Copies of this chain bind each other. A is one copy, B any other.
Amino acid sequence: MIIVMSPQASNDDLQRVVDRIRAAGLNEHISRGTERTVVGAIGDERSLSEQTFEQLPGVERALHIVKPYKLVAREGHPAGTVVDIRGIKLGGKQIQVIAGPCSVETQPQMDASAAAVAAAGCRLMRGGAFKPRTSPYSFQGLGVQGLEMFQQAAREYKLPIVTELMDVRMLDTFLEHDVDVIQIGARNMQNFDLLKEVGRVNKPVILKRGLSATISELLMAAEYIAAGGNHNIILCERGIRTFETAYRNVLDVTAIPVLQRETHLPVVVDPSHAGGKAWMVPALARAAIAAGADGLLIEAHPNPCEAWCDADQALTPAELTELMASLRLIAQAVGREL
């Protein structure tokens, strides 16, 4: 950590900083410049907080030199993590497209969805049984019954399932129903008790970036899961909130190469929630793969016009099949398979 002293700092102020560094078991290194004196804290600076120094008299600013995340950092783990989902590899050369409806509605809808997902060549299926909805008056998901419908449909096509866990009390139910990948939604990215609990189980987790979460916060949320012992974490960029109102969110493609530099975890992208309109999905999906994403989460529905939620962002089975063909060409152009 670097502590910048203000021009007016006294020797006593400086000594107080030094004392605090030593109290934490680190050593100081003082550098006197022409305009400012700078103190370096030598040792494991993760035990120091910037705030502890910034409120001391004579301190202008304190800043970490080392990133706050450790287990999920690429530094120290140079090889990328490949998550194995019942034999399907996510994070390697092969790109995975996880498709399916926004929410589980009926058994026929799920059967038709699973058939369409498999026919399009996707190897994993998504669908929501518990839905985070802005309004308490909106459809909240079928719950446990939805999990059952989902499994029945997906098992027929040997598709591992991905579904969102919102309430920590439902974790055991998810395990009983053998959910293959637990999704933590954007709104729960910093629901720390939920993160701690999924950190204790041995199931792959897709962690979605919060609407206004920084890269660092996303990685610290993943660190919560990893710190519990679960290293099967997949990060998901799903659009961030900005000033623009012409579309729901802004897909942050820059996050893809930046995350891949900072962490060894695989990175997938959700172009459906980012744009919020089905007609935007193909362009955004292609951009994500071209930028290096390891996979995609795509909403598809056998009959989007009749979907119970997010009707305007789901692809039809025909559109999904067409998109997969187009993505295969992009994957090849960047030296990968799909």
- A contacts, CB < 8 Å to B: 2, 4, 7, 29, 31-36, 38, 40, 42-46, 49, 51-52, 54-56, 63, 65-66, 68, 75, 132-138, 140, 166-169, 187-188, 190-193, 196, 211-212, 214-217, 220, 223-224, 227, 240-247, 250-254, 256-258, 261, 274-275, 277-280, 283-284, 286-292, 304-305, 309-313, 326, 329-330, 332-334
Contact = CB atoms under 8 A, between A and B. Distances in A.
Nearest to A1: B33
Contact of A214 (B196, B244, B292): B244
B192 A284 contact: no
A135 B223 contact: yes
Given A137-B46, A275-B254, A38 B65 contact: yes
A51 B325 CA distance: 27
Q: Which of A44, A54, A56, A196 has the most CB of B within 10 A?
A: A54
B214 A286 contact: no
Contacts of A46: 137
Contact of A66 (B36, B63, B252): B36
A287 B253 contact: yes
Count of chain copies: 4
Given A35-B66, A220-B135, A258 B242 contact: no
B241 A256 contact: no
Contact of A253 (B217, B223, B243, B251): B251
A136 B224 contact: yes
A178 to B, nearest CB: 22
Contact of A166 (B56, B193, B253, B283): B193
Given A31-B42, A66-B35, A275-B254, A217 B49 contact: no
A192 B133 contact: yes
A190 B187 contact: yes
A44 B34 contact: yes
A138 B333 CA distance: 41
10 contacts: A35-B66, A38-B65, A51-B313, A52-B312, A166-B191, A169-B169, A187-B191, A212-B212, A253-B284, A284-B291
Contacts of A224: 136
